[in-house]
């Protein structure tokens, strides 16, 4: 029997909308489970998972939550409860996809809860919030969240929302069908981190590994990409990591914009997957508009990438700190790990005559690695620039050796 | 004959992805139409609509675009050409939906084309950009553009992108069979502008007006909503407007992030449909967090709405200015209009005893609108606050008096 579609909506204010979507999904041959994370008012249609159950799963009693009158805490409890229930329904094989509909609160609950589902399992959020100045991050995280702007307010089924809900219901059912039918290629997948200034290296290494029969999955090392890589490694979709562009370690140490948080470069190490790292892209910090920079940063070599992004050369002591962080991550590897250093420069702009050329600062990272790395972790210095073919070939060959060995 | 699912892709770099999407869309019984929006390199697969044809539809040639060598110009021109081709198909009843995949440039181009199409036609963009600190606004505009995060970079079909692309292709195929441009579901369709502070009023109006023959569609007056409403009014979807939260006019005149541009409150007048206007939520300017408030607001009453939103009490001068603007708009209207004024506060936050209470400013609005409203516009003062049933009843009566029952 086809798995069900979970529908998340606060039934005090969104009852008719949820009922409309539910009926459309059923008409398409999928059964539904309606989850009600509402707190105030009274549900206007029947839920399959009631608000009381949601509150309990979130660790609270609904009646006392209402009596306490703390909106922030109520939200938190209902988010946690919905997340727990959805994850359980998925794990039990009951649910094959989810759709949520809401405004500010409904989107905060629905889009957070759906982030608990693995990549490929449909997550459709129909929302007033998916527009204007609102940003994707809180609603998408590291997932394949699908956000559909409702155009009109979610207040009844009408000429505008009827079309939007109709499309959303069709989409979530079709995606659930697709997800259950999808076949993988049978190839072994290697995750690789990339950035504009290290692209030639990544493309060359990708080409080499693809020729050997591997599948390469690229992640943009802009803070989100690195987190997506870590998540997918943990979900089991990636079997090896070629961490060429480690800019996010600099982002974390130097508080740049491209910070993927404290978990970066941990998943492959913990799971014992082959890991080949390089310091490519650690030589600069990604910061905001030039006018927002500190005086100290303004004195360093910098590149105005666009009006919103300025690249600032990473200083010697910061490079040493990044090297130490990289060493800690690699030392924790339960499987094979290596780090390859392009001694001729770590990014497009880190070479003679270019803005970020600073062999002394780069050396600080290498010295830190040499001082701190376990002997188990191989460190290889290669007399080439990061974007020279010889370096890319060395990285690809090391990766292949790890994967086959 | 099945309608086309247009697949927009730059076939020099995204041919592998386009070929995969085409195959899945076709397998779902929909009719794919691959439109090549690329300019440089050579297409990796044959297009159904060639890049030369797209350039010609934009009133130029591919050679001319390449000669100019301006990437931004190329993007705008190819989007324009693709948009015109799709609008032509739509007019012929042959367009079922649009799907695109891309990184930053591909997303800018794809969503530009999608925003040219009416609400209701399915629009799905699979994008690396649908994540992190990027805002929705540029990609969604006032339309139901749906964004799906690609999680991994878009460089080939692999174990991460395959399920995501398959979901997207099946979703657009299913939506293309369900979707259609918005159309009236009932003989009479009315629009209403709404904010949290005026929700109770709009709910009462909606309940009073909703019959098997009539429905009310609410738009969140935070910039996007007002613009979406104006567009749908201009398209002829609406038979009347309850513009009871015209706060975007104040934002346009005074400031704050939620302006809907210079053309708010024009479309209804141009179409000649009845309008009932109330000064709902004109008692405050919506601004960012307290530390971001411009110094000109020093000494004003303010109210912390959320951590990122502060409401600033509007001054007598600002009230007079917005009253003048409303009077001008109504004077220019080709259809009938009426104004209802709640004398005991323009929102829930400025009734007596509330943080934004300011009888003098409210009075300034009432006097100015009385002086300036055209004689043919009935102005009704109600001795109640905005969300009082009396105001809703009056608004409904005025709309009915103008023939909208």
**Cβ neighbours around B104 below 10 Å, total:** 12
**Cβ separation A184–B159 shorter than 8 A:** yes
Q: Are B379 and B304 in contact (CB under 8 A)?
A: no
Q: Using alpha carbons only, what angle is made at residue B6 by residues B233 and B25, rounded to the nearest 5 degrees?
A: 125
pLDDT at B1: 58
Residue A186: pLDDT above 90? no
pLDDT at B106: 93
Q: What is the separation of C-alpha A36 from the centre of its chain, rounded to a whole number of angstroms?
A: 27
Buried b (16+ CB within 10 A) or exposed e, A148-161: bbbbbbbbbbbbbb
Q: Which residues are CB-neighbours of A276 under 8 A, at least 6 positions away? A: A241, A242, A243, A337, A338, A339, A340, A395, A398, A399, A402
Predicted confidence (pLDDT) per residue in A130-160, tens digit: 999 899 999 999 999 999 999 999 988 999 9
- 3-state helix/strand/coil string of chain A: CCCEEEEECCCCCCHHHHHHHHHHHHHCCCCEEEECCCCCCCCCCCCCECHHHHHHHCCCCHHHHHHHCCHHHHHHHHHHHHHHHHHHHHHCCCEEEEEEEECHHHHHHHHHHHCCCCCCCCEEEEECCCCCCCECHHHHCCCCCEEEECCCCCCCCCHHHHHHHHHHHHHHHHHHHHHHHCCCCCCCEEEEEECHHHHHHHHHHHHHHHHCCCEEEEEECCCHHHHHHHHHHHHCCCCEEEEEECHHHHHHHCCCCCCCCCCCCCHHHHHCCCEEEEEECCCEEEECCHHHCCHHHHCCCEEEEECCEEEEECCHHHHHHHHHHHHHHHHCCCCCEEEEEECCCCCCCCCCCCCCCCHHHHHHHHHHHHHHCCCCCEEEEECCCCCCHHHHHHHHHHHHHHHHC
Q: Are B283 and B361 in contact (CB under 8 A)?
A: yes
CA distance B91 to B62: 25
pLDDT-derived band at A241 (thresholds 50, 70, 90) equals very high
Chain A contact set for B142 (CB, 8 A): 131, 151
Please state the pTM of the whole predicted model.
0.89
Q: Are A60 and A77 in contact (CB under 8 A)?
A: yes
pLDDT at A234: 94
pLDDT-derived band at A317 (thresholds 50, 70, 90) equals very high
Q: What residue in A sits closest to B307 (Cα-Cα)?
A: A72
pLDDT at B288: 86
Q: Using alpha carbons only, what angle is made at residue A167 by residues B144 and A141, rounded to the nearest 5 degrees?
A: 65
**Cross-chain CB nearest to B152 (options A146, A151, A228):** A228
Ordered mean pLDDT values, 10 residues apiece, chain B (405 residues): 90 95 96 96 96 98 95 94 98 96 93 96 96 93 96 89 95 90 88 92 95 93 93 94 97 92 96 98 92 91 86 97 97 97 96 95 97 96 97 98 87
Chain A contact set for B151 (CB, 8 A): 119, 142-144, 228, 232
pLDDT at B87: 97
Q: Which residues are CB-neighbours of B289 under 8 A, at least 6 positions away? A: B307, B308, B309, B310
**Cβ separation A133–B24 shorter than 8 A:** no
pLDDT at B339: 98
**How many angstroms away from the CA of B169 is the closest CA of chain A?**
8
What Rg value do the Cα atoms of chain B yield, rounded?
24
CA distance B382 to B389: 11
- Minimum mean pLDDT range among A241-245, A250-254, B129-133: B129-133
Report the complex ipTM. 0.89
> Does A273 contact B at CB distance below 8 Å?
no
């Amino acid at each position: 029997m086809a798995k069900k579609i979970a529908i998340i909506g606060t039934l005090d204010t969104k009852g008719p909308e949820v009922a409309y979507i539910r009926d459309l999904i059923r008409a398409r041959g999928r059964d539904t489970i309606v989850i009600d994370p509402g707190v105030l008012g009274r549900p206007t249609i029947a839920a399959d998972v009631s608000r009381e159950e949601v509150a309990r799963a979130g660790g609270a009693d609904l009646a006392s939550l209402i009596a306490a009158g703390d909106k922030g805490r109520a939200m938190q409890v209902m988010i946690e409860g919905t997340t727990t229930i959805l994850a359980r329904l998925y794990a039990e094989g009951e649910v094959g996809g989810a759709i949520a509909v809401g405004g500010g609160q409904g989107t905060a609950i629905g889009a957070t809860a759906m982030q608990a589902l693995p990549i490929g399992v449909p997550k459709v959020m129909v929302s007033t919030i998916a527009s204007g100045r609102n940003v994707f991050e809180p609603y998408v995280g590291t997932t394949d969240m699908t956000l559909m702007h409702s155009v009109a307010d979610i207040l009844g089924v009408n000429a505008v929302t009827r079309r939007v809900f109709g499309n959303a219901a069709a989409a979530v059912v079709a995606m659930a069908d697709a997800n259950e039918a999808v076949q993988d290629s049978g190839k072994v997948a290697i995750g690789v981190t990339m950035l504009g200034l290290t692209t030639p290296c990544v493309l060359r290494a990708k080409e080499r590994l693809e020729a050997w029969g591997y599948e390469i999955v690229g992640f943009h090392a802009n803070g989100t990409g690195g987190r997506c890589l870590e998540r997918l490694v943990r979900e089991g979709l990636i079997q090896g990591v070629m961490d060429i562009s480690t800019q996010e370690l600099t982002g974390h140490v130097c508080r740049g914009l491209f910070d993927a948080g404290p978990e970066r470069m941990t998943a492959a190490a913990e799971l014992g997957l082959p890991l080949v790292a390089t310091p490519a892209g650690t030589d600069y910090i990604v910061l905001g508009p030039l006018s927002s920079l500190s005086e100290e940063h303004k004195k360093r070599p910098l590149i105005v990438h666009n009006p919103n992004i300025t690249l600032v050369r990473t200083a010697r002591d910061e490079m040493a700190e990044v090297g130490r962080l990289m060493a800690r991550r690699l030392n924790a590897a339960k499987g094979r790990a290596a780090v390859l250093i392009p001694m001729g420069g770590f990014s497009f702009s880190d070479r003679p005559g270019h803005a970020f050329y600073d062999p002394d600062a780069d050396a600080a990272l290498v010295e830190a690695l040499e001082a701190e790395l376990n002997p188990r972790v191989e460190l290889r210095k290669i007399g080439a620039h990061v974007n020279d073919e010889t370096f890319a070939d060395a990285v690809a060959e090391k990766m292949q050796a790890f994967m086959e060995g | 004959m099945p309608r086309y699912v247009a697949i927009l892709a730059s076939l020099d770099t995204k041919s592998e992805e386009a070929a995969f999407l085409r195959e899945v869309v076709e397998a779902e019984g929909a009719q794919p139409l691959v439109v090549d929006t690329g300019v440089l390199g050579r297409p990796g697969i044959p297009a159904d609509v060639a890049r030369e044809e797209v350039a010609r539809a934009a009133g130029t040639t591919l050679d001319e675009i390449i000669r100019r060598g301006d990437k931004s110009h190329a993007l705008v021109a190819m989007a324009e050409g693709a948009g015109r081709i799709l609008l032509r198909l739509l007019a012929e009843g042959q367009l079922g939906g649009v799907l695109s995949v891309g990184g930053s440039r591909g997303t800018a181009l794809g969503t530009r084309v999608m925003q040219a199409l009416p609400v209701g036609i399915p629009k799905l963009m699979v994008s690396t950009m649908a994540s992190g600190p990027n805002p929705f606004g540029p990609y969604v505009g006032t339309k139901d553009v749906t964004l799906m995060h690609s999680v991994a970079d878009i460089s080939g079909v692999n174990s991460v992108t395959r399920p995501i692309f398959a979901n997207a292709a099946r979703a657009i195929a299913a939506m293309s069979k369900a979707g259609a441009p918005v159309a009236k579901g009932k003989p009479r369709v009315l629009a209403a502008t709404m904010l949290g502070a005026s929700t109770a009023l709009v709910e009462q109006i909606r309940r009073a007006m909703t019959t098997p023959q009539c429905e009310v569609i609410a738009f969140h007056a935070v910039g996007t909503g007002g613009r979406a409403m104006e567009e749908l009014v201009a398209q002829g979807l609406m038979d009347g407007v309850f513009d009871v939260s015209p706060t975007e006019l104040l934002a346009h005149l005074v400031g704050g992030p939620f302006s809907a541009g210079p053309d708010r409150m024009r479309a209804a007048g141009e179409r000649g449909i009845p309008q009932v206007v109330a000064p709902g939520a004109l008692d405050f300017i919506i601004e960012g967090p307290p530390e971001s408030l411009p110094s000109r607001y020093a000494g004003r009453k303010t109210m912390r709405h959320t951590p990122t939103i502060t409401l600033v009490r509007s001054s007598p001068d600002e009230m007079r200015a917005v009253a003048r603007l409303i009077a001008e708009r109504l004077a220019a209207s080709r259809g009938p209009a009426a104004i209802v004024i709640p004398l005991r506060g323009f929102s829930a936050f400025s009734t007596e005893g509330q943080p934004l209470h300011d009888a003098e400013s409210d009075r300034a609005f009432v006097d100015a609108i009385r002086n300036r409203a055209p004689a043919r516009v009935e102005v009704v003062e109600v001795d109640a606050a905005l969300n009082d049933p009396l105001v809703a009843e009056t608004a409904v009566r005025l709309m009915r008096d103008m023939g909208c029952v």
